[in-house]
Amino acid sequence: MGRSSTRRGPTSPWGAPEMRPGSRGFTLIELLVSGIVVMLLASGVGALFKRVWDNHDAVLTQNYVQRQARQALDMACDELRTISLDELEPGRPAAVAYTDDRGNSVVGQDWVSAASTQFVIRLLPDRRLVRLQKVNNDWEETGSSSSVRGIDRFQVRFIARKWTTTGSLEWTPLSIENRPPDGPFDPRILRAAFAVVSATASQRAANGITYSCTLESAVKLRNQAYPVAPPSVP
């Protein structure tokens, strides 16, 4: 049998194999170029992920403001259905309905015998729509108070039917200023058949855009003319 031998390549004086021209390592410039390419790729991927997140957050924000506006409407309409537009004394309605100094509506019921039915719904400066209870002749939040955050605007318009010069009935908006128990009093609220409630919610998204949503709903009211069910909302 013949002898086998292993051919070794040239070695350096220290015994390590020498690098041949065809198997050299990266130069400094090549390493810099490779690093720049990797950084550009990472930057592009990061920008892509940020764009995806911004779009996702924008959808979440829009859903949030729609949900808050809907909750504000539901809370206000549920409470307005419980209000009885009657007068406990002639010309003195118990319903609360006026506009505050920031242009938002305040609605509720006061000057009634049961303390549990003395309440107002109003928009506070911290953008919360709150149901306040009458405590020691002052409107306060209680443990059972309902509130909705993120609300910018709250409006309630009362609508009544009015006889025209031709003898027909038409829907007429009423600008009510009724503040029991001390007044002023507006007996026209006794003729209100329904109320139109409007709420606006807003929120700033991660992309810097502020999204808002305004919803409107009509709610029937009970009054002296319609003690059971007022006519349909037009």
pLDDT (tens digit, 9 = 90+) per residue, 78-133?
A: 999 888 787 778 888 889 999 999 999 999 998 876 666 789 999 999 999 999 99
| Domain assignment of residue 86, yes or no | yes
| Domain assignment of residue 80, yes or no | yes
Per-residue burial over 72-84, b = 16 or more CB atoms within 10 Å of its CB, e = otherwise: bbbbbbebbeebb
| Domain assignment of residue 132, yes or no | no
| Domain assignment of residue 65, yes or no | yes
| Domain assignment of residue 20, yes or no | no
Distance CA 85, CA 94 (A): 7
- Taking the CA atoms of the chain, what radius of gyration do you get in angstroms? 36
The model's pTM: 0.72
Range of the domain at 191: 59-117+149-223
Max CA pair span of the chain: 131
Counted domains in the chain = 1
Chain position carrying tokens 């390592």: 25
| Domain assignment of residue 72, yes or no | yes
For residue 209, give the DSSP letter.
P
Name the 3-class secondary structure at 201: strand
Q: What is the pLDDT of residue 168?
A: 75
- pLDDT tens, residue by residue, 26-69: 676 766 767 776 776 666 766 666 777 777 788 899 999 999 99
Distance of CA 27 to the CA centre of its chain: 59
- Dihedral angle, C-alpha 101, 102, 108, 114, nearest 10 °: -60
| Domain assignment of residue 122, yes or no | no
| Domain assignment of residue 230, yes or no | no
